[in-house]
A and B are shown apart, each in its own frame.
Chain A
Amino acid sequence: MFRNHEIRDNLIRNKIRFILILVTLGFGVLTLRLAHLQIIKTEYYTNLSEGNRIRPVRLIPPRGVLYDRTGKEPLADNETAFDLCVVPDEAKPLENPDPLRMKIFNQLDLKSEQVMEKVKNSHGPAFETVVIKENIDKEVAAYLAENGIEMPELIIQPRPKRRYSGLATHVIGYTAPVSDKDIENGYDINDMIGKSGIEAEYEDYLKGDLGWKMAEVNAFGHIVRDLPLSVMAEPGQGLNLTIDAGLQRKAEELLADKTGTIIAVDPRNGEILVMASKPDFNPNIFSGNCSPDEWRELISNKDNPLLNRAVMGEYPPGSTFKIVTATAALQSGKVNENISYNCKGSFRLGKWRFKCHKRGGHGNVSMHRGIVESCNVYFYNLAYNRGIDVPLMHKYADMFGLGKKTGIDISGEKAGYIPKTSKYTGDKINMCIGQGQLLVTPLQLANMISVMANRGYSYKPHVVNLPGTKPEILVDIRGKVSPRNIEIVRNALKYVVERGYSKQANLPDYHTAGKTGTAQNPHGDDHAWFIGFGPYDNPEIALAVLIENTGLGSQNAAPVAGQIFAEYFYRDKEDKPLIAKQQ
């Protein structure tokens, strides 16, 4: 028994000795590991340890400035904004009320509990700053920067902030904080990105290249010293837009209390001179301090201020479409310009009556008078009796670039819609005067009138001329429509302004031409159209004006166009005619 006991004990004791050997070996391995870290590689880790106090700091490049076509007037530039920040690590003093800090918080409309909450909810490393109030008053920022020693817990961080002139808001677009998707694409959580208009379309040019500097931080994460190692930020490339700031301003004034849009384009190259859309919005509110109320108001506003009506609005073209119908009629050979119809004020089709806008009727109407006086009955007759049907009108509308995107360098462009076929006779009756299912954008009509201005072609509309690029031809009907037919329609457009209903778009020294239109609006009052160009012989400017819910184009849109023409032709001249002096 004792013997067994002895053997067992010895067996266990051997095993315990074995465990002790294993443990000692284990400590030996750990000692070797420590020797490796602390003796052999200590220099490497010491450097890393020092590196921990040196942090890379992002240098945000100023965003490219957007100028008007003269290169003198900035439409979007940058200013310095100041953010009030704290380092979560150092937020502790905030718990104690300090009269001076209270005063500053009151001035900034901040509450201590609110600030503590923000600090608590921040997820970054404890030594990285948390913004507690963006874009604070510059005087407060200056005061804090000077008296920082008394309140080291409050840090002022400058950053470049986009500043918008408020002109051509929809063209310029806006910048806003990045979305989660942008972050996936390599943006930093603090970056701003172009969200619409030129800001979005030319983001790659405007954003510039991020720079880095190395800065030494003290125990509390404050930057104490910048180190020489740095990569300068590359400022974003500035762009000159084709927008004519003076003309744009005039257009926005004319639209100030209206809903609608004005587009002016140089038909010689497709440059957009004016693109105004009202109502508009204040692009500055997207930069980060947009309150939820402002936002809600903006997106729930029934007039939809965010909509760029010039490229995103879709409307029936109304009588402006008669340019297409007339061209189709002449070029298809189905109608001779001298054929005339008698207008008695309406047109009968079965039990329906289609009205002309002149109650008593226009009497005997030929092609020329049909366009100049915009006689509906004349066009009804073409459609009904001369076989100017929906497929034919679609073909010519398509030729003029209607119902498809122009490809302008502004995001969100809509295509519109031109019906191709129809079931009912009434459809072509409606379509020939630009009503029914037809939908076009104001930009498409501006392009169509440019085609007439240029006698058969147009350039792709654009707002930025990148160096090394030439204007592209967008529409060219010269091989498909004879010069004579173009001239018949074009000539009629001159008389529309000279003798027809759009005399208010005429100027004493310059011949202009154009066409009015009234787009039927099932939801309210009709929309007024005017499209035109001038001077008649060698056009320099083509216009499309749309005023929503105001009724006849001749009374509401044509005078606005006249003002734009006048501003364009007379702004540098001493003795302006009466029309140019009107406000």
Chain B
Amino acid sequence: MLNSKRIKVKDFDGFLLAVAIVISLFGLLTIFSAAHSGPMSNNKLWIAQAIRLGIALVAMFVALIIEYRILYGFSYIIYVIWAVLLAILLTFPEQSGVRRWFMKGAIQPSELAKIILIITLARFLSDKKHVADQFRIFAGAMVIVMVYTILIFMQPALGYALTLIPIALSMFYIGGISSTYLLLLIIPGFVASSATIIICHKGWDITATSSLIKIALVSFGYGVLSLFAYYMISKTRTRNGKKWVKFVSICIFAGFLMALAGTGILKDYQKARLLAFVNPDFDPKGAGYQIIQSKIAIGAGGIFGQGYLKGTQNRLDFLPAQHTDFVFSVVAEEWGFVGAVFLMFLFLTLITRCLKAAYKADDDFGALLATGITAMIITQVFMNIGMTVGMMPITGVPLPLMSYGGSSLVATFISVGLILNVRLKRQ
């Protein structure tokens, strides 16, 4: 059966590729608009991005033609090599507080790190599919995820580190890890992120006893909530009462610890962004500025937009980082609700076609690979658009295929290439 495999041209998902290219062309158009007028105008930016698009297409082609099961074989080795590389990167002197950029910003290793993590996790989960001890699978997968998460978080690239969590969750889900363990991730994550925001917002000094009491109270509140949620979901509640009490306690305790650690680890600008997310008026000229200006740009776009190259916010440079992180705001300002929804529709189409590859994959590795990659794209799209409309904190995650910048574009087209590859290798 394995020998009879051959490539069928009709399985090449040309529609997926077309959608990806359309989105990137839309991105080029928007970058041109974002950089074309105003005080910081630079008419060469879109040319630079067009060249990167060419490179990205070549990279995609390479990802498409190699036998994707070869990646299966090399995955652990590449994983280790890249982890060492990320660790070495941490020893580099800081460039304006951030070490993300490798060799004067030419390569961004975190972008490729995500793909390598997905491949490795896909192999691990598909290998261990039939292992009876669920905990061993879960623990092993967590180690694989946490090594990269911590290395990327320490760069510090909070946004990139956060995108790894939904990727891991979706792959665990597809990989068959029991829902108990997924909740073990979701509940503390929810507790921790909410508590962190509250602690930052209230400005509690976590070294003071009275603050610790307040934090404990907040955590307790979340604990009761999560307990209730788990009680509603859990099927084991009638069978083993003590088990879920223990389980939920661990969840809450973990979340509590993570919140404490989070407020200690977060840099001041990261806390400011969290605060600005909760209340943009908190610092209208600082971290809140970006959120407010982005919302103004989007809101002023109205239904049909102000017209291409005519967005006021965009033109006058009131919109910060309008060709990188806030490119969606430019689209929404210039093309209005109609344009923004159309762009989201294109992304939904892209995601649907990607999931279809996972759906139709004929082995677990392929399914897991396609799911992980799709989850990566989904996460980035939601984190970026959510940020521009003020529903998510500012994390500096680019909009795939749209935002100005080479690493993200190349990484996304490699992802698309891999998806096409998984789809292609059907009998």
Contact = CB atoms under 8 A, between A and B. Distances in A.
- Pair from one complex: yes
Interface of A: 8, 11-13, 15-16, 19-20, 23-24, 26-27, 29-31, 33-35, 37-39, 41-42, 44-46, 48-50, 52-53, 87-90, 125-127, 219-221
A89 B313 CA distance: 15
Contact of A34 (B176, B315, B337, B378): B337
A38 B388 CA distance: 13
Given A15-B174, A37-B295, A38-B337, A49 B317 contact: no
Given A89-B317, A126-B317, A15 B173 contact: yes
B3 to A, nearest CB: 18
A44 B299 contact: yes
Nearest to A8: B364
A16 B174 contact: yes
B295 A45 contact: yes
Contact of B300 (A27, A46, A89): A46
B402 to A, nearest CB: 15
B39 A52 contact: no
Given A30-B389, A52-B313, A16 B358 contact: yes
Contacts of A35: 337
Contacts of A125: 285
B389 A48 contact: no
A157 to B, nearest CB: 18
B148 to A, nearest CB: 22
Contacts of A20: 351-352, 355
A20 B296 CA distance: 31
Interface of B: 37-40, 170, 173-174, 176, 285, 293, 295-303, 312-313, 315-318, 332, 336-337, 340-341, 344-345, 347-348, 351-352, 355, 358-359, 364, 367, 371, 374-375, 378, 382, 385-386, 389, 391
Give the interface SS of chain B, mostly helix, strand, loop or mixed: helix
Contact of B39 (A33, A41, A89): A89
Given A52-B312, A219-B315, A45 B300 contact: yes
Contact of A19 (B297, B317, B344, B355): B355
14 contacts: A8-B364, A16-B358, A16-B367, A20-B351, A27-B345, A29-B391, A37-B389, A39-B303, A48-B299, A48-B300, A49-B296, A52-B313, A53-B316, A219-B38
Contact of A33 (B285, B347, B355, B389): B389
B337 A39 contact: yes
Contacts of A19: 170, 173, 355, 371, 374-375
Nearest to A220: B39
A23 B351 contact: yes
Contacts, number: 124
A45 to B, nearest CB: 2
Given A42-B300, A45-B298, A53-B316, 20 more contacts: A11-B176, A12-B174, A15-B173, A19-B375, A23-B348, A23-B355, A27-B347, A30-B386, A34-B332, A38-B298, A42-B299, A44-B299, A45-B295, A45-B296, A45-B299, A49-B299, A49-B312, A52-B313, A126-B317, A221-B39
A90 B285 CA distance: 21
Contacts of A42: 299-303
Contacts of B303: 38-39, 42
Given A23-B378, A34-B298, A52-B313, A12 B367 contact: yes
Contacts of A33: 389, 391
Contacts of A26: 378, 382
A292 B273 CA distance: 40
Contacts of B391: 29-30, 33
A126 B318 CA distance: 10
B385 A30 contact: yes
A38 B316 contact: no
Nearest to A20: B355
A261 B166 CA distance: 80
Contacts of B285: 125
Contact of A126 (B39, B170, B312): B39
Contacts of A53: 312, 316
A29 to B, nearest CB: 8
A126 B320 CA distance: 11
A494 B63 CA distance: 111
Contacts of B39: 87-90, 126-127, 219-221
B20 to A, nearest CB: 17
